[in-house]
A and B are shown apart, each in its own frame.
Chain A
Amino acid sequence: MIAEEESAIRDLHAGLVGGIDTRTTAGAQPSATLRAVVEEFAYEPGGRPVLSGIDLTIRTGELVVVAGQSGSGKSTLALAMAGLIPHRIAGDFRGDVTWQAAGCEPVDLTELPLHETAQHVGITFQNPEYQLIQYQVDAEVAFGPENLALPHAEVVARVNDSLAMVGAQALAGSAISSLSGGQKQRVAIAAALAMAPPLLVLDEPTSDLDPVGTDEVLKVLHELCHVRGRGVVIIEHKLDEVAPYADRVVLMTGGRIVVDDHPRRAFLPTSRWREAGVRPPELVTLSERLPDYFDDGPPLTIDEAAARLTGVHVAAEGAAEAVGQGAVGAVGAVGQGAASAGRAALEAVGVSVSFKGKRALRDVSLRVADGEWVAVIGANGSGKTTLGSVLMGFVAPDSGTATCFGRPVEAGRIPRQADRVGYLFQNVDDMIFNDSVAAELEFTRRHHVPTGPDAPEPGEVAALIGLAERMDAHPYALSGGERQRLALGALLTRAPRALILDEPTTGLDEAHATALFDLLTRVRTSLGSLTCLLITHDMRLVARFADRVVAMREGEIMLDTVPRRAFAKPDVLYGCGVRAPAVSALHSRLAGQPAEVAISVPELIRLLAPSLR
């Protein structure tokens, strides 16, 4: 299966191996162009410009990826391209967004009524939840055409076509609330497509999706672009995943475009991306370190990288020794699964859970040792969050037991285990209750919540999370990353010995995600020991920070081992809706199913070194 997908992407990039883009003529002919020229835009007159000096041209038939750190202006640019700025979002806008179809006069979208702009440029937002406003899928997709008062036959045709384009025909009669995250994202795209826009702008369309779901959505977008001739702009953090599909990559920083080029050229030098707080694709980083093998441009797929490294052998001594040489961080520091032998911090034994007759967990047993960092990975709906919920006491198991530091977890009696274990929710805004950082950190004291003698003072926690200078700030005035740190800090005021983190890096860029885990590392050092159960789709964080990986599928644990061994089993991972990091997948390909694989670029290079020319 994986080989087939790799092959498909290889085919897709058949014209790229030479390093120069030959795809623009492969599918659709460019027939219209959007040009966004934004001299300056600020949300408040006289305020800090969020966009400045922008001049971006997008053609139909091309897929453009816009990357950048949080706050770099990506989403604002998307709103401007879709005409929502200046039509619906107030601010000081100076510029033009023009649409020109082949053989027609250009149209200024800033002057056009919004519903007419929507028929040139469609937009979907990061969170599909709030852009699906009807009860049922077909009604949602039909909403736009109905508003345009199109004839019934045309409305029906647009609904059917749009759903077909995203492969969601079978969902037509489903209630929106019954859909998974990936399905909702597809429906949101279909609803935008029903307005028949030649250009589609998508703001982080895969942020809530597992790796396989991400790939499915990207394939849909690729087909829209290269088969059906639509233009697609994707704002995305997951550059490893999206780069193989991109025709152009744009990097934004400080409201400006600093890179706009073909993906084979755009990512080099990678230092430019790191300085902008964006993680470049691993394969590009590897190619930069091995210029002799990638002199015609960096690879974007595993197949390409493997082809260029033909004849290079991976050292037979295995990856573990490479770690022993100090190649990477946390795994080496903690050891290869040795930590699981200690005292149990969190433990589930034979746990089964059902919701409305559907089994969410099937006889799951998991033991997390004191001080161990365990990552739980798997597709959306595989039971990861349910497992975390059982261990926290949110959900009572139908059978089996859960314990927390040797004491039974009492389902529904959450405060009783909350002094030992904290739970960081995916949406940290659900965890913020007060009107200042200080009040948030004083929550336990204000509400007379009992804390142990080790509980830190709010000021200490504020210093640890880097918000000591912002104690009077309103939480909603903080950035997303700061709010995440505040929510974590609020948990730390009770000095928990374990944390369950549910998708903590969703929607965070590389810099913020790394900062969060650096903070957790500091907390571990500060407390002496900290157990973490990390529920995530971010495999690079898993590789970097987890001692152990537990892969789940349909409520069962399919794999439980250290990351380098887990990532050496791509077929099992794929069955769990997960893909190994690119560098691990490349190691697997080069070494032919080794027992362990490298989990970072420096590590793989160290293993390749003996046979490099």
Chain B
Amino acid sequence: MLHTLDHLLFATLAGQTVVAYAITFLVPLVGPILFLRFVGLKGLRNVLSYEAADTPIHRLDPRLKLLYPIVITALSVLLNWEWTDVLFGLTLVPWVLLRPSAIRVRVLAVIIGLPALLSVWSQGLYYTTPNDHLIFAYPVTMAWVGTAGLSTAGLVYGVHQAGRVLVTASAALVLVFTTGPSDVVWGTTRLLAPQRLGLAISVGVRFLPQVFERLNTVMRAAEVRGYDFSRPEKWWKLGQLWDYGRRMVRALPLLTVPILVGSLRGCGQMALVADSRAFGVNKRRTTYRQVSWTRADRAAVAAGAALVLGAFVVIGLGGGRF
């Protein structure tokens, strides 16, 4: 029985095609399924939002937390994959200090793990080297996909890259999880020399929720006019699915007009406000909020400096990627 199945799947063109389709299309589906099962859109909003708590990480200077993922990502690019994995282990230290709840850990694991999984899959299919060993060679019917098949070298490379994805995601989520939007804005404007860039980020953070709210209103307004955004009740009926997709695509310009017009009008007023409040008059602005460094900040800087120094020593000793 098993032998027959093995023969059918791996020795016949039809079977190989089925397996190739599964590798190409089912594996990426694991991501959305896991995401919907363990996170969901509401969960994503929760997990990607600041959660107030009184931990040493929460109390750190926002600028340090903004720099943290940047430094870690840079190191992950410079270090070889073994040391990147070590770096990933080190990025888990803040999480230990944060002690997130089991639910949040599960959600975070999915959020961090999914990109890693997709990285391994995509590199396994599309990272090619001369004389690749193919674990599974795609049949001629899958030539249109543009890959010879699933390669060992690609999967290994994917694992290496996944380490970098894990490091970046882990460090970035510490920032998101422990830093309020106002702190992010403040830290960004303080770190960035060009005032305009700082203002742009501030305005972006301020108005992002409003744009989504407006989109919701405009969609409702279109629905009141009879435009139907509802998903097909029987999604397996391709006709309904096609009609749904067509309606959504045709709605894009409809929805864009009021949002764009409203935003442009708002921008005009914002520019007047910024001008009348002396924006850009002085090269250097003073600051209302002043953050004095605590022992925790100094410890964080020391730890960061040690990490960077250590990483360069490792790179110097041959642990680098280049």
A159 beta carbon closer than 8 Å to chain B? yes
B234 beta carbon closer than 8 Å to chain A? no
Which residues 247-277 of B sit at the A interface, judged by CB distance below 8 A? 250, 254-255, 257-258, 261-262, 265-267, 269-277
A145 beta carbon closer than 8 Å to chain B? yes
Which residue in chain B gives the minimum CB-CB distance to A433?
Answer: B254
CB contact between A115 and one of B266, B276, B286 (< 8 Å): that residue: B276
Which residues 364-397 of A sit at the B interface, judged by CB distance below 8 A? 392, 394
Q: Are the C-beta atoms of A146 and B286 separated by less than 8 Å? A: yes
B282 beta carbon closer than 8 Å to chain A? yes
- Cβ contacts under 8 Å, A418 to chain B: 223-226
- Stretch from A48-56, A133-141, A296-304 contacting the other chain: A133-141
- Cβ contacts under 8 Å, A450 to chain B: 226
Which residue in chain A gives the minimum CB-CB distance to B225?
Answer: A443
| Interface flags, B206-241, vs A, CB<8A=1, else 0 | 100110001001101111111110100000000000
Which residues 432-449 of A sit at the B interface, judged by CB distance below 8 A? 432-434, 443-444, 447, 449
Q: Are the C-beta atoms of B278 and A148 separated by less than 8 Å? A: yes
Q: Are the C-beta atoms of B226 and A419 separated by less than 8 Å? A: yes
A130 beta carbon closer than 8 Å to chain B? yes
Distance A139 CA – B182 CA, assembled complex (angstroms): 9
Distance A148 CA – B37 CA, assembled complex (angstroms): 52
CB within 8 Å for A147 and B272 given contacts A177-B209, A415-B226, A419-B226: no
B131 beta carbon closer than 8 Å to chain A? no
Q: Are the C-beta atoms of A136 and B286 separated by less than 8 Å? A: no
CB within 8 Å for A133 and B257 given contacts A139-B289, A176-B206, A494-B226: no
B3 beta carbon closer than 8 Å to chain A? no
Q: Are the C-beta atoms of A415 and B230 separated by less than 8 Å? A: yes
CB within 8 Å for A152 and B270 given contacts A144-B277, A433-B254: no
B135 beta carbon closer than 8 Å to chain A? no
Which residue in chain B gives the minimum CB-CB distance to A126?
Answer: B269
- Cβ contacts under 8 Å, A132 to chain B: 206
Q: Are the C-beta atoms of A414 and B220 separated by less than 8 Å? A: yes
Q: Are the C-beta atoms of A131 and B270 separated by less than 8 Å? A: yes
Query: How many of B's residues come within 8 Å of A, CB to CB?
Result: 55
How far is the CB of A143 from the nearest CB of chain B, in Å? 6
The listed residue with most B CB atoms (<10 A of its CB), out of A114, A151, A412, A450, is: A114
CB contact between A146 and one of B209, B257, B285 (< 8 Å): that residue: B285
Which residues 39-97 of B sit at the A interface, judged by CB distance below 8 A? none
Q: Are the C-beta atoms of A413 and B230 separated by less than 8 Å? A: yes
- Cβ contacts under 8 Å, A490 to chain B: 225
- Cβ contacts under 8 Å, A191 to chain B: 277
A125 beta carbon closer than 8 Å to chain B? yes
Distance A475 CA – B319 CA, assembled complex (angstroms): 64
CB within 8 Å for A177 and B226 given contacts A145-B288, A430-B262: no
Distance A394 CA – B218 CA, assembled complex (angstroms): 12
Which residue in chain A gives the minimum CB-CB distance to B215?
Answer: A430
Q: Are the C-beta atoms of B288 and A118 separated by less than 8 Å? A: no
- Cβ contacts under 8 Å, B225 to chain A: 418, 431, 433, 443-444, 447, 449, 490-491, 494
Distance A491 CA – B224 CA, assembled complex (angstroms): 8
Q: Are the C-beta atoms of A149 and B284 separated by less than 8 Å? A: yes
Which residues 280-297 of B sit at the A interface, judged by CB distance below 8 A? 280-282, 284-290
How far is the CB of B156 from the nearest CB of chain A, in Å? 44
How far is the CB of A436 from the nearest CB of chain B, in Å? 12
- Stretch from A421-429, A532-540, A557-565 contacting the other chain: A421-429
- Cβ contacts under 8 Å, B228 to chain A: 415
Q: Are the C-beta atoms of A123 and B276 separated by less than 8 Å? A: yes
- Cβ contacts under 8 Å, B250 to chain A: 447
Q: Are the C-beta atoms of B270 and A133 separated by less than 8 Å? A: yes
A338 beta carbon closer than 8 Å to chain B? no
Distance A136 CA – B289 CA, assembled complex (angstroms): 12
B153 beta carbon closer than 8 Å to chain A? no
CB within 8 Å for A152 and B290 given contacts A118-B277, A135-B181: yes
Q: Are the C-beta atoms of B288 and A139 separated by less than 8 Å? A: yes
Which residues 249-291 of A sit at the B interface, judged by CB distance below 8 A? none
CB within 8 Å for A115 and B185 given contacts A412-B230, A425-B221: no
Distance A122 CA – B277 CA, assembled complex (angstroms): 9
- Cβ contacts under 8 Å, B288 to chain A: 138-139, 142, 145-146, 152, 155-156, 159
Q: List 21 A-B contacts (CB under 8 A).
A: A114-B278, A115-B281, A130-B267, A135-B202, A136-B182, A145-B286, A146-B286, A147-B278, A147-B281, A148-B278, A155-B287, A155-B288, A156-B288, A159-B288, A191-B277, A195-B278, A418-B226, A432-B258, A433-B257, A444-B225, A447-B226
Q: Give the interface of B toward A (CB within 8 A).
A: 181-182, 185-186, 199, 202-203, 205-206, 209-210, 214, 217-218, 220-228, 230, 250, 254-255, 257-258, 261-262, 265-267, 269-282, 284-290
Known pairs A83-B276, A131-B269; list 13 more (Cβ under 8 Å).
A122-B276, A125-B272, A130-B265, A130-B270, A134-B206, A136-B185, A149-B284, A191-B277, A195-B278, A415-B228, A430-B218, A433-B222, A449-B225
Q: Give the interface of A toward B (CB within 8 A).
A: 82-84, 87-89, 113-115, 117-118, 122-123, 125, 127, 129-136, 138-139, 142-152, 155-156, 159, 175-177, 191, 195, 392, 394, 412-415, 418-419, 422-423, 425, 427, 429-434, 443-444, 447, 449-451, 476, 490-491, 494
